[in-house]
Structure 1
Amino acid sequence: MLVQGMRGSQSQMDSPSAQLALIVASQNFLQPGGKMVAAAKATVPTIMDQASAMQLSQCAKNLAMALAKLRTATQKAQEACGPLDIDSALGLVQSLERDLQEAKAAACDSKLKPLPGETMEKCTQDLGNSTKAVSSAIAHLLGEVAQGNENYTGTGLRAGAGRGEGAVLVATDLSTPPGIAAREVAQALCSLGQAARGVAASTPDLQVRNAMLECTGCIMDKANNLIEEAWKAVAKPGDPESQQHLAQVAKAVSQALSRCVNCLPGQRDMDAAICMVGEASKRLLVDAVS
């Protein structure tokens, strides 16, 4: 993801969504990179060959320094790219939709494989965490819309933002970096898409694989609608119809998230077990009455 983000940013230097994708990929790399450093340092004392141990120790130090520089660069990039508005969030989500389409095509050809380090257990845990992160980010976005915070939702910079519409600059107060809430949603969706792809690639169950990719694609589509509706709602502060429509779209995203989680093998088995218990309880009641 990090290499892909770098290539995308280099080939599309004027693309806000490519810049945002690189920032997200960099953030997502920091935690596993830190774990790799810790694992390497813990392994050094167990290596008998002194030269190999020294080499591993030095590599761990170099990686730790590189991660520190990456963290600093990412923070500076976020500050410098503050003006990235709602278009960049929409562009990233649409890019995630395309990635899922490619994953579905690869799955149909039996070419979808787990990435290095991906396991069913890890991806399942990541999916649960990212689902919560998406829900939290959406709740944050809705809260800012309700308060009419244009800077935070990223709607104050452009008029006409959306799929295929021309963007027209309008005057606004940029004292607060715009697009933060929309960007949070897009970042959470990026982690969700990566986890869902990992689950699909790691499971041998064809039904689970197809359902996971299909449900995740639905989430991206609904979330795209949500970001657009949030922009429209802030453009009409206090409009009951806009607020109601936004709430309906948010509910659709929530339902799509639930369907995605329910695709997990363990969750499906649990639901089936609960249904079996329910049916057994009904039969016991019937037998008791008769």
Structure 2
Amino acid sequence: MSRPTVLATVCSDSFEPGFIVAFNSLLEHNPWFDLEVRVLWHPALSPLSHDAQERMSRVYDRLTFIEADLDQQRDIRERMISEFRTQSRLFPAFLVLEAFRFTDADRVVALDLDVLVIGDVRELFDCGDQFAAVEAEHAIGGKRGFFNSGVFVAGAQHLTGDTYSDLVCLPVENMKNGWADQAILNSYFPERGMGWLPNRFNSLRSLHPDHLGDIDMVLGNRDIRILHFAGLKPWNAKEPQHPHANGFDGADRLWSDAFCRYACDGDMERMLTGREQRLRQWAEKQESPSFGQ
């Protein structure tokens, strides 16, 4: 019996709006998609309630929810926190490393949930590289010399458990920053050989500011298939000081319109409640005596 190709992602209750858009848009633009999806979660780092899991399963019925056992990666998390003061908001991203423990799979495609799929992505699942990702870009500076881990492909060579063991034992001193899984993966794969995916499969919102013109036309001309909302999430309130708070209304509108199309009973209310809670948390942070020190 052949080993399967699976899609892996990480979700929490706060990312449920992202799941609604990411997976409904994936299915809308990829009617061929019928693969197993493994959703990683953790009660402390990325809590996902049973109710949320039930709602997600109504969107797609081939979801497998996996409570991640993070004992083996605890040491590297603690070392990165000590070395880089890695922020707690990035902790859930560590969970995607557990996809390298899917030893029963022939291929894993990892996908963040802060994305909007707007085209066919079959090429990701047909990719022949043993590891591949999209090189990060800056709107002004161009290619940045590392890859964004929001979308990556891992082949059977890296799904034996050995690569996972290597990843969690890497020296943090060789890493350039504390960006959780992205820092770990970038300090491992480029030196061992990897493929580069076309940027249409992981195009950051920051590359498509409003001044370029109509967002649909811009994305169409660039043949973008996956729009990635790294940074400020479109389902959260806009924090005025955030670099993505202004100038990207077109991209944010695409996400909001998609959410309105896909939302079921209670989804909008849950998203707005979460937005209000996070806005209050942000306001309290501004009022804290230690803020900015």
Larger helix proportion, structure 1 or 2? 1
Larger radius of gyration: 1
> TM-score over 0.5 for the alignment?
no
